[in-house]
Amino acid sequence: MCGGRGTRLRDGSDRDASGVETEKPLVEVCGRSMLERVAEALRESGLDGTVHAVVSPQAPETAARAADLSLSTVETPGEGYVADLGTALDAVGRPALTVPADLPLLSAEHVDDALARAGTGDGGAANADSEPTSLTVCVPAALKRQLGASADTTFEHEGREVTPTGLNVVAGDGDTVALTYDARLAVNVNRPRDRALAEALCG
């Protein structure tokens, strides 16, 4: 998912030669754009299927960069994350693993673990002896606070306040929460301080 404006991230420091602010997925963390870092993690994982970049009219340079990276693109109207996700799922089908471009410390191991927990061991098709389940990967909200990372959404799970990472498997009717304490999944780059934190952790 890489079609948002990223207005909360803008502090005036990321501009191209024409003075235009960089689109959020193209903001660099440790020398590479977030889009490139997430695409690499997906490609190095056991995901058995096409990696799609879900783009919108709000981020034309991101769509162009996705094409440069040989990513399949899914065009959406740019009506918000939930609406655009629905458009993307209608286009690619289910089960599908979804992740936002603002999770730059995502690794192939994170992807493989999510697929295994959801019961899609080959990266898309269900295991022979079970149907895949929808999965939401979360971190404790306390970990976000400890790191100083922004947290826009929280909910209670088994008596603990948790925050979605954005890494999900969308499959059948069942829904499972997978809790991780990995700090790399606790950093969604939505604000300048999140970017600074990601830079500190990526080394």
- Parallel, antiparallel or unpaired: strands 160-170 and 155-157: antiparallel
pLDDT (tens digit per residue) in 6-20: 555 555 555 555 555
Give the burial class of 17: count Cβ atoms within 10 A of its Cβ; 0-12 exposed, 13-18 middle, 19 or more buried. Answer: exposed
Least confident of 124-128, 149-153, 159-163: 124-128
Q: Two tokens at 108?
A: 């192939």
Measured distance CA(148)–CA(135) in Å, rounded: 26
3-class DSSP state for residue 137?
strand
Q: What is the CATH number assigned to the segment(s) 24-202?
A: 3.90.550.10
pLDDT of residue 16: 53
Q: Where are the domains of the chain?
A: 24-202
3-class DSSP state for residue 3?
coil
